[in-house]
Structure 1
């Protein structure tokens, strides 16, 4: 049974009002007839074909021809370790890996991934407080081997590698633009005990029991089949090893999204942001669902704690609006609007953000689940 510390009801604060209530109402109506927990678990079991492995872990059996193939580049920092003997070609290690989540792969290798790579420092600063919670829970020692799932631009991988000074860290992600930034940054910082690989954690061939700990900062919500993905990750963690990740709580509890989106909704329609059961930022928003998924994937000792943190969106409202308009959510919100409507929506977002300006930047609160589990 998971230990779950429930989060307090999020206060509306200064940005409350009709726009916020309208956003919550629309979101609730878009999530028509959500599946119950038992049905959700049943669909997971029906979706995959699996064998029970020793210790309760699951091994996915893929039908011939199932899924696509991802030509992944292993990006190495000079002197860094590798985990498999892939063929060498110039300065790259090239492998062919299957990919199950083609939609997410397309997104993170196009505009979304490019935006994250271009704004590496901004995204890292936004998530900085959550990173502290994550690494504290992971309890990485100097000799550990660490797997970072959905590593993105690689900040958490690099920090893990520094903590595992006599061990090593491997970052895994779908996004080539972000992995290139990750490898370049690690090389620039002189971190040699780190490797970055492009692949889908759901189906990526991972060495058995090779890692002491697996971590993820907001990188595990996008799996097409989360049970299969966590089971695959579980096989790579040694018995007695651990898993630690942070994932977003419900949209309504995340001020950093509610404030700008609520203001924009006076002019544009709410896009499909996903929710429990569908790949997307809020797929693991329900703690009971996290328990079901991790238990079904073979993990034990599941703990789910609520954490919130200030997120710096920019120097001021104008800077934050310019940044936010390039994010995936903003592009989805504004995609069908004409230029005058887009301008009015962005003006409204700026007005909604202005009360949150502080001397050192504009801050809004983010709320996440901090999840830990053990590999039996």
Structure 2
């Protein structure tokens, strides 16, 4: 199953025409380096054979494939992401792994025409970017059977995530903050860091039994200082500041990179830049 993402949606268009190529360039960091937070849940969760699952914002499909293995041949996994370029890897990996119980759709989760046939919805770092979180959560609720479960992982506050907070602070010493007219990929990676806000969003969207579990752990943000600097200046909060500063950023690139090198050097471990990170694993249920 393949659907085309809506090119008229501003955030979807930005993902496809600006961010997709950058994310592909740093796929190993984004898919594997940050995987601690999904691995904790995947290693402990028990999924019954035959479970039907939708993976929201599945990216390159690694979590969708892991869930497909867990639910077995009698189950089914639908992975959805607004960037079809990402999904090509998931489709290829599914074939390589001999998985016939998983498919991928390039679509906007806020408007995807679900039917209420899924037992579980999972998302790793996908929920934070929806233009209208309540609308997206409500639409996902429509995918679940009565009593179905929602589990999603989001970052906690940037102050608890020095892997992006520290580089942003360094870059801001040299460049102005982005203007109000800056293009974005949605509300941003920390838009669901506040449990009170998210609890309210989930309640409005019609969920119950809402719970928050904190996960802390290391993330790998580069296989060298050079790789880590390039990653930070391309993606995330520091990358947004750098991108929007445009010519000024390029003019000051050398001194910014030197400052980032000094800031990241203490985190070098066995050739990799390893930094602390913090997330919420949020669970909720559609009323029976």
The counterpart of 1:363, out of the listed 247, 260, 274, is 274
Mapped contact 1:173–1:197 kept (Cα < 8 A): yes
Q: Counterpart of 2:85 in 1: which secondary structure?
A: helix
1:184 corresponding residue in structure 2? 92
The equivalences for 1:125-274 within 5 A come to 125-135=32-42, 139-166=46-73, 167-208=75-116, 210-271=117-178
Larger Rg: 1
User: Which 10-residue stretch deviates more, 343-352 or 278-287?
Assistant: 278-287
Deviation at 1:169, TM superposition (A): 0.7
Unmatched 5+ residue regions in structure 2?
A: none
The aligned length equals 279
Distance 1:146 1:257, change over 3 A: same
Distance 1:97 1:346 in 2: 36
Q: Distance in 2 between matches of 1:330 and 1:98?
A: 28
Conserved in 1, the CA contact under 8 Å of 2:164 and 2:238?
no
Cα distance in structure 2, aligned partners of 1:250 and 1:183: 33
- 1:109 is paired with a residue whose SS is helix
2-structure distance, mates of 1:220, 1:281? 9
- For 2:230, the equivalent position in structure 1 comes to 322
**TM-score scaled by structure 2?**
0.89
Shift of 1:120: 2.4
Name the SS for the 2:150 alignment partner: strand
- The alpha-carbon deviation at position 175 of structure 1 amounts to 0.8
C-alpha change, 1:121 and 1:98, in structure 2 (3 Å) is closer
Trace 1:106-121 onto structure 2 (pairs within 5 A). 106-121=13-28
Q: Is the 8 A contact 2:5 2:83 kept in 1?
A: no
Please give the secondary structure, in 1, of the residue aligned with 2:264: helix
SS at match of 1:110: helix
Alpha-carbon distance in 2 for matches of 1:152, 1:117: 10
Specify which structure has the higher proportion of helix: 2
1:226/1:165 CA distance change after superposition, 3 Å: same
Partner SS, residue 136 of structure 2:
helix
C-alpha distance in structure 1 between counterparts of 2:78 and 2:24, whole Å: 18
Distance 2:4 2:170 in 1: 45
TM-score (norm 1): 0.69
Structure 1: any 5+ residue segments left out of the alignment?
A: 1-73, 76-94
Write out per-residue CA displacement over residues 319-363 of structure 1, whole angstroms, 9 at most, x where no aligned residue.
211233222544422232243302211111111000001125210
| Contact 2:137/2:205 (<8 A) preserved | yes
Could you say what the CA RMSD is over the residues aligned between the two structures, in angstroms?
2.2
Distance 2:238 2:89 in 1: 23
Within 1, Cα distance between the matches of 2:6 and 2:252? 42
- Runs of 4 or more, structure 1, over 4 Å off, are 95-99
Q: Is the 8 A contact 1:263 1:345 kept in 2?
A: yes
